[in-house]
Amino acid sequence: MSILDQKDDVKQEKIVSMFDDIASTYDTANRVMSMGVDISWRKKACDLAFEYYGKKNIDKIVDVACGTGDMMGYWKKQSQKADVQIAEFVGVDPSNGMVDVARKKFPDFSYYIAKATQIPLEDASADILSITYGIRNVVERQEAFYEFNRMLKKEGLVVILEFMKDENKNILKKIRDIYMHKILPYVGAAISKNLEAYTYLPDSIENFVTIQGMQKELENAGFEMLHTQSFSMDISTLIIARKK
């Protein structure tokens, strides 16, 4: 039975277990499968967020589903380029295996082992919250958006990078779908030795909410849309929204 066919509570546990299993090879697989282009997507997300927020001193950036810490690394790097001072970087993830890798890469950051729906941080304590290629793995997505809103300061930003469906179909999306379903799983499996994990990726995208659907969910949770942009044949989509 596929992970996606499980009951919600079982599904979430299996997803976390899957990421524990592939943690040691996750960074390598990401770079190979995206041919390194995901780096430009992450940098763009950080740069735009700093522009929209418009402050040079930020208390806290929280990266949910932080995995091996990649996005936090780019938050730090891009903040230095933009001359933005960040007091604290916080990573949140339910996978011990992923966070263990993150701690080795970025020992000066703070970490919590927690779900996106139960983040142990105070109300209105974060300036920016990001989740990159992780919201698709959160079973109770709408509840997570409410939790993000709780944690963010007034006019704080939520920054989402994700593989999402679009209601509009064209030839580029068909090419993308072929890559996702016919090539990517076997590249990921060759690196990680876990075919199930990288078969789950395209399947989860196919069963995921559309860009338009996610925008509505964010609005329902008390956010207003600031920016939506798709990259590289619409493989990846960036959404930036502000807490009202």
Q: For the chain, how big is the Rg over CA atoms in Å?
A: 17
**Rounded CA gap, 243 and 208, in Å?**
24
**Rounded CA gap, 89 and 110, in Å?**
6
**Rounded CA gap, 16 and 11, in Å?**
9
Biggest CA pair distance of the chain: 50
Beta partners for 237? Answer: 162, 230
Among 15, 39, 12, smallest CA distance to 27 is for 39
CA distances from 217 to 64, 121, 143, 159 (A): 17, 22, 10, 14
Distance between start and end Cα atoms, the chain = 42
Annotated binding residue at 93? yes
240: left (phi over 0), alpha (psi -120 to 50) or beta: beta
**Rounded CA gap, 227 and 127, in Å?**
17
Q: In what order do the strands lie in the sheet with 85-93?
A: 110-113, 85-93, 57-64, 126-132, 152-162, 236-243, 223-231
Question: Binding site residues, as ranges?
Answer: 68, 93
Q: What residues form the annotated binding site for S-adenosyl-L-methionine?
A: 68, 93
